[in-house]
Structure 1
Amino acid sequence: MNSIDSVTLEVADTEAAARFYSDAFGLDGSRVRVRACDAPTSGFRGFTLSLVVSQPGNVDALFTAAVEAGATVLKPAAKSLWGYGGVVQAPDGTVWQLATSAKKDTAPVTRDVDEIVLLLGVEDVRATKRFYVEQGLTVGKSFGGKYVEFATGPGTVKLSLYKRRALAKVAGVPAEGTGSHRLVVSGGTRPFDDPDGFTWQPEPRQ
């Protein structure tokens, strides 16, 4: 295993969720999918998804479209030391970061997405990094016990690890949460659960 093929969000209403992701982010169901689930969940689910774009105007375009489609604002889009971004929560409960490292626009504004990043909030970053290396992933960047980014190929979903409480702070939500993550990650050749209970399954055949 060297990459994530797709992520599946488990939602109460698949039709409404698919419509939101199409209207808000232009996602076509290839890398981010939805399926029905009524497993109990409350509070922070332990992960966020990030849409990385090329310039601030694109962040604003996605942010506006998400809010118009029914998302809740967790953090308004704003400048920061690393670039520009904001955080919204989809109607199904998934937290989305919309971000760019660019400080100004250099091209016409679009809603084109350059990268999709899955950030898992974990209790022990070092231990979970070792676990994923054993599954076949290659570390791209690592900052001690705080943050890990795995190297993945183009057109796939990038995986990063962050301390759970730190990720919740970035997302603008309390760190507490119980029940299902409401997330299934597709990649590799066998199913497994990681140390924090995130479920992986092989990519389903079309």
Structure 2
Amino acid sequence: MTSLACVTLDVADLTAADRFYTAAFGLGRALRLRQAQPPTTGFRGFTLSLTVAQPGDVDSLLGSALEAGATPVKPAAKSMWGYGGVVRAPDGAIWKVATSAKKDTGPVTREAEALVLLLGVADLGASKRFYSGQGLAVAKNIPGVYVEFEAAERPVKLALYKRRALAKDAGVAPEGTGSPRLTIGAATAPFTDPDGFPWETVPAPHPAL
């Protein structure tokens, strides 16, 4: 089965971006940065989501991101699914920090349980079949709504939403064109998916973020 090793974001200022992500999230090997600025406008068609253990961790990570220069998109709040909020990093990437828990049960750790890459796709069924053909096993499937793939105990998970639904969840307009400024790394041959997201070959991932 294909395992996601990392995601690489194209950023205009590599030094500034590295400083931001170190201060905000400290993700280590799961997130890579590359100095490049391919043309893009509006929503890039993806979000990155950090899942954590409890609301206190959400507040701590979002607070660090805002202090480091992120822009608030959706303030942290309770929902039927748990608790979370959304920010936009200085490089333009949209980040959600969330937990399924609604109450704190221990000290704040700021440790992310997983980094989830959510891709907004035009045809959910077609993208599901495409990725299944690339060796990813479906872990969760809500027909016409959501698909999540097995992560094989790796920190980077892949999930699919319809593009408009993902933009709505993030709190942004769905329109956008140009490069996603995102490359997905995995132990597989390079390819580009039906929605234009590129994959590149990297060594098999380590389980830790």
TM-score w.r.t. structure 1 length? 0.97
Secondary structure at the counterpart of residue 63 of structure 1:
helix
* Aligned-pair identity (%): 62
- Deviation for aligned residue 1:158: 0.2
Secondary structure at the counterpart of residue 19 of structure 2:
helix
- Deviation for aligned residue 1:204: 5.9
- Deviation for aligned residue 1:189: 2.3
In structure 1, the partner of 2:136 is 137
1:24-103 map, 5 Å? 24-28=24-28, 30-103=29-102
- Deviation for aligned residue 1:3: 1.6
1:6 correspondence with 2:10: no
1:57-206 map, 5 Å? 57-203=56-202
1:18 correspondence with 2:18: yes
CA distance in structure 2 between the partners assigned to 1:136 and 1:45 by the alignment: 25
Q: Show CA shifts across 1:13-37 (max 9, x none).
A: 1111111111001222x01010011
Aligned partners of 1:3 and 1:156 also within 8 Å: no
CA distance in structure 2 between the partners assigned to 1:36 and 1:26 by the alignment: 19
Unpaired runs of 5+ residues, structure 2, are 205-209
CA distance in structure 2 between the partners assigned to 1:57 and 1:156 by the alignment: 21
Q: Show CA shifts across 1:137-196 (max 9, x none).
A: 000000112100001122330000000000000111100001100000001321100000
Secondary structure at the counterpart of residue 196 of structure 1:
coil
Taking a change above 3 Å as real, the CA distance of residues 204 and 41 of structure 1, as seen in their structure-2 partners, is farther
Q: Show CA shifts across 1:14-63 (max 9, x none).
A: 111111111001222x0101001121011000000000000000000001
Q: Which moved more, 1:86-95 or 1:195-204?
A: 195-204
